[in-house]
Chain A
């Protein structure tokens, strides 16, 4: 890997070298490196682009890294990654895509991920998206995440998209069975003329299933974000969606909530707040010696990364 590729990999995974454990690195639409483990198998799909990741029952405290790197313009990459996670597992999955585009042609990555999580398993899924490069070509990322949580399974999804991605449409669909728990933290920053659209649809099918979605969005300059969530409670369940947005300049954030308690024992909540950075937060940091710009950046950094 060259320096650009290494830097992208580090931004996506936090690692300076090849990940330990099972991994699959995809570069410019083709596999770059792959490693399976005894109880985590990564198998390339035969009829379409992508991989199956099979994690056996009882796998504990293991990780899987599947980053994607794009360093050319004009690429339209579509990949299907299907995770089959056994029962009683505890695993970390790190994914994401980094595009470095110095050309005038748009590069695009469409990552379609599905997760079938077995009974009583826990999965933490971290997905980062990065766009960089000086070319006028777009850096487009359109992830789709489909989650099925079996009885007693739980999953935490953390997504982070900082500056540089010109356009994104993120779709997440989830089905939760009895006692399943899903937690999603989404953090997006858009600048310039960038756009970001997020769609969540969560079906709470099982008794005592629960979902918590927290979206923190910052839109600067002329950028535009739209957040759409749809929680459907079909049993005795709990769902909470929180959309917090900070806007600066001429940016715009739209939040469209939908909560549908089909079962009368479903408890569903939606909260949304969009506005400028609170004046008292800026003033407080300025009394500690930060300039207005430094204070804004610090507040946004904390808001997105925490």
Chain B
């Protein structure tokens, strides 16, 4: 479904080149849930932002469903069937929850459709449908709406960047259950959380911009318990 080959990403920092991602080679398959994990600064968010097109790789290739998307724009990738939920949801001046769900689903939704999208993330449509997506919503509410938008797109590939960050009253179990129910598609979740690691079919451990290990949780357990990754094992 998604194949990344020889991918590198570097930036200029004080006139010298800094390598953020180094020689990434990996394949993500349909019907599986992957968790990209690793210490802070290991390049997890950078990798998913390159997949969605927000950042552009220095070199290397990304092939999605047999099509080279390495040089496509963000919207072109989105329209091929890639959804992305931001770690820090974006707020707007003047756009409502209903507007964003309409854009995400590609249709004008009636109340019951909006209700079904929002109830998946534990929100009541009548309380939120006409709310503006701005700072009057709490971080937790914004985060849940962000996830609802990603799901409303019904994509072949769903990418969630630290979906648990900021989730407040809504229990963590609901979030993991939601991801468990996403069948027939490929899910990539950037996370530190043990419960998400446990529900993933495959874990990708990034460290210092390099894929250190790929495998099941039991296979990666010894690596996650290394001092640098101690907090992952909690």
- A-side residues, CB < 8 A to B, are 216, 244, 278, 280-281, 283-292, 295, 298-299, 301-306
Contacts and interface: CB of A to CB of B under 8 A. Distances in A.
Given A283-B54, A287-B83, A295-B75, 14 more contacts: A216-B94, A281-B90, A283-B74, A284-B90, A287-B52, A287-B75, A288-B78, A288-B149, A289-B75, A289-B79, A289-B103, A289-B106, A289-B153, A292-B75
B78 A287 contact: yes
Contacts of A216: 93-94
Contacts of A244: 93
Contacts of A302: 92-96, 99
Interface of B: 52, 54, 73-75, 78-79, 83-84, 86, 90, 92-96, 99-100, 103-104, 106, 132, 149, 153
B111 to A, nearest CB: 20
A292 B78 CA distance: 12
A154 B153 CA distance: 44
A286 B93 contact: no
Contacts, number: 64
Given A284-B86, A288-B103, A289-B106, A303 B75 contact: no
Contacts of B95: 298-299, 302
| Max count, chain B CB within 10 A of own CB: residue among A283, A288, A298 | A288
Nearest to B75: A286
Nearest to A304: B94
Given A281-B90, A299-B95, A303-B93, A287 B74 contact: yes
A278 B99 CA distance: 18
| Max count, chain B CB within 10 A of own CB: residue among A291, A298, A302, A305 | A302
Main secondary structure of the interface of A (DSSP, over half): helix
B93 A285 contact: no
Nearest to B79: A289
Contact of B94 (A285, A288, A306): A306
Contact of A288 (B54, B93, B100): B100
A47 B99 CA distance: 50
Nearest to B89: A284
Contacts of A290: 75, 103
B52 A298 contact: no
B90 A280 contact: yes
A301 B54 CA distance: 24
Contacts of B83: 287
Contacts of A305: 94
B102 to A, nearest CB: 10
Nearest to A295: B75
| Max count, chain A CB within 10 A of own CB: residue among B75, B79, B132 | B75
A268 to B, nearest CB: 23
A288 B54 CA distance: 13
Given A298-B103, A302-B99, A286 B94 contact: no
A217 B30 CA distance: 46
13 contacts: A216-B94, A278-B90, A281-B90, A283-B54, A286-B73, A287-B74, A287-B78, A288-B104, A289-B79, A291-B75, A299-B92, A304-B94, A306-B132
B92 A281 contact: yes
Contacts of A280: 90
A230 to B, nearest CB: 25
B157 to A, nearest CB: 12
Contacts of B149: 288
A289 B78 contact: yes
A202 B149 CA distance: 43
Nearest to A285: B103
B85 to A, nearest CB: 9
Contact of A286 (B78, B86, B99, B132): B78
A292 B95 CA distance: 16
A289 B78 CA distance: 5
